[in-house]
Amino acid sequence: MTEQQGSDSGEQRPGPYRGVFGSGEPAGSPSYGDVYAPNSYSYPANPPKQVTIAAIISLGLGVMCLLLAALAFTSAGEQISEVVTGSRGNAPVAVAAALVCAVIYVVPALYLRKGRAWSRYVLIGVAALGIAGGLMALPASILGLVIHGTLLILMLQQPTRLWFHHR
């Protein structure tokens, strides 16, 4: 006998939880409400696509910082040093800054898909700093402004918040 059929005495029992929006979905099919409902007993094993995209963006930015650090050891090191620090001959400072930036992007990206809430907060902070820096360097920083804006929007969307909230 199933829960929906009730007992022989005519008593009706409630069926399974159907999500936030009621019983619009056929029985047994997962809906958005079933997966992310606060009263649901199971949570999604895989992160929402917003989290995956944000992790990929952050990893990409971290790899670019690592490439910048590697390029600072080549003949382009003087120009890179001048762009990063404002003066020529500061290649070690430019390398250190690029490596710190790489760590700030890569480490949260690795823990983002594991559901660590601190990684979401770090990426929100990094995106906010990237947006502020992009606004100060306009018009040359439009691409960086768009990338960091996208990262911030992805981290603030409801599926992302709900996935981290239930972890």
- What would the pLDDT profile of 65-118 be if each residue is shown by its tens digit? 999 999 988 888 888 888 888 888 888 898 999 999 999 999 999 999 888 999
Q: Is 55 helix (H, G, I), strand (E, B) or coil?
A: helix
Is pLDDT larger for residue 163 or for residue 40?
Answer: 163
- The CA distance from 82 to 110, in Å, is 31
Listed in sequence order, the residues at least 6 apart from 91 whose beta carbon sits closer than 8 Å to its beta carbon are 72, 73, 77, 78, 80, 81
Claim: this prediction has a pTM higher than 0.85: no
Does residue 41 surpass a pLDDT of 50?
Answer: no
| Structure confidence at residue 86 (pLDDT) | 85
DSSP annotation string for 86-135: SSTT-HHHHHHHHHHHHHHHHHHHHHHTTT-HHHHHHHHHHHHHHHHHHH
